[in-house]
Chains A and B, each alone.
Chain A
């Protein structure tokens, strides 16, 4: 494959024929200056303010929708019998699924020593946290009285009421709250050395104070680094089963219910694969504009995009297998109800949602992702990532709505129609997510500087004592 590329392309490693992870010519100082410069710059691009105002405008829809929700109750949404779960649960599962790629990149790829992840893990983790913020809101407001949300947790109270531990909804509280906490801790600990760098490079006293506090006085001591590396590895090792368990538990919310279309054992692996699929799509949606606007093409290279596209191809294929297996089992189970559910899902009144899902999640991505040319075509990848995000939203829509609205008794059949408040809240969370992300790219280091330094050729230890002069010549 590599032979088709021009041989003198500087981005291609001549030994492996692969795209280089970092463009050649960088050294410790240049990567530090480049990444720290984004945060410590005195002139913020005007487009950033424009983007923040625009995204903030969209995010204000959340405020409006939530205010009205608190005043009137969940009756303003389209949820009713039999479709008791609607947009809130769809959006919850969709957002939290998006978050999963961040943990996958930061944890699983760290354990597998996939160093290419170093360039993208910070903003993938940030994406996780902001996605969990958006996701966590939905179950909280779906309980109807969000100000009593703390009732979900076990605590001694005068009502003498405790959670019911056989319910997946109680498991969900534990899974999602643990996920949010560990993600934030992992993200913050990852940033401590970079805060030290920002503290030392900042010229404004306020910035020096702010990053100095956040850095906790980090000074790069070797003993600190060793403990730090141990803690990072342990957190990665813990996040890996955590991320797999979170979407598994979310799939139990469905799979434990005795409802045709939900009651299947394939849900846990298929939910996790779908989560990673949509998450990588979202990382691409975010990474492609950022690397362009901030001129990060030498740190987030075609190699990263290509690798992420390959992960999408793999997880997308698992998702496709899941869809196929659902159809197969509805026939093989010989259950009248299962069979009807699948027929209704495909050809019922909301059947267009199913075909939309097949088109956007399977037909378009899984045909084009095989081509290396298209995998490194930035424009196409960006479009594709949005298509997959739409597709994964439809997957949740199809699972939640088409299983519910026509259940066992035809006399209780109904339909589901989202109201304008549902749409406002959903669209508002895009604005909230974008706002948080814009604040992140402005004030926090978007690429982990210490980890990028580790990938540079200058880190090679040469024994036998080179003199300082020869080394500095090599470096320059």
Chain B
């Protein structure tokens, strides 16, 4: 990725989640799209204001689970019937009820790992550097008690002066430029 220069966006700091929700909703109404809110705990209302409804974590989880189920079941069948057939008290080689249990465990294992690591991958993590960490007040509050709205410079509607004036309308504690 080429090194980016200039500013990443403008970040407004709020004291309460209500102010953040209001600012996000109005920024959306005003036509801003490239924006993101940062909160110390999940705030569903902000996600609604951002119109972020769908995420692909459940799909990954389902695919992982199905993969685990088929992998384990086929592996057991192949081992018990073809690779290493053993006569255990005259039971059929394809003892399908007994094979359910390891397949069940691997369904959960693969689904869980897909959900967990899928979430991390979809979030683009690990990403130890991010321009936001350059904002002087971000690390002091974003993971503790402050609520941030960042309008990003890639948005076509973004303009340093107008966007700043727009954000300052919401009684933000501060509005700061974020450098790359």
Contact = CB atoms under 8 A, between A and B. Distances in A.
Interface string B83-123: 11010100100010011011011101101110111111011
A15 interface: no
Interface of B: 14-19, 21-22, 36-47, 50, 52, 55, 57-58, 61, 72, 75-76, 79-80, 83-84, 86, 88, 91, 95, 98-99, 101-102, 104-106, 108-109, 111-113, 115-120, 122-123, 125-130, 132-133, 138-140, 142-145, 171-173
Contacts of A163: 79
B94 to A, nearest CB: 10
B142 A451 contact: no
A189 B15 CA distance: 27
A241 B91 CA distance: 28
Contacts of A189: 116, 119-120
Given A222-B36, A468-B173, A230 B55 contact: yes
Contacts of A475: 15-16
Given A227-B57, A459-B17, A28 B144 contact: yes
Contact of A185 (B72, B116, B171): B116
Main secondary structure of the interface of B (DSSP, over half): helix
Contacts of A451: 41
A219 B133 contact: yes
Interface in A253-269: none
Interface string A428-469: 000000000000000000000011011000111111011111
Contact of A234 (B18, B19, B58): B58
B106 A174 contact: yes
Instruction: Give the top 4 A-B pairs by smallest Cβ distance, nearest first.
Output: A28-B145, A231-B119, A468-B171, A216-B126
Given A154-B75, A178-B106, A450-B40, A222 B46 contact: yes
B16 A458 contact: yes
B2 to A, nearest CB: 21
B108 A241 contact: yes
A164 B81 CA distance: 11
A438 B34 CA distance: 45
Contacts of A245: 101, 104-105, 108
12 contacts: A154-B79, A161-B84, A164-B80, A174-B106, A199-B139, A223-B50, A223-B123, A225-B43, A226-B55, A235-B115, A453-B41, A454-B42
Contact of B95 (A166, A171, A219): A166
A285 interface: no
B75 to A, nearest CB: 6
A458 B18 CA distance: 9
Interface in A215-238: 216-231, 234-235, 238
Contacts of A450: 40-42
B45 to A, nearest CB: 5
Contacts of B22: 465
Given A171-B102, A241-B108, 7 more contacts: A164-B80, A165-B95, A165-B99, A165-B102, A219-B130, A228-B119, A231-B116
A166 B97 CA distance: 9
A179 B115 CA distance: 15
A238 B111 contact: yes
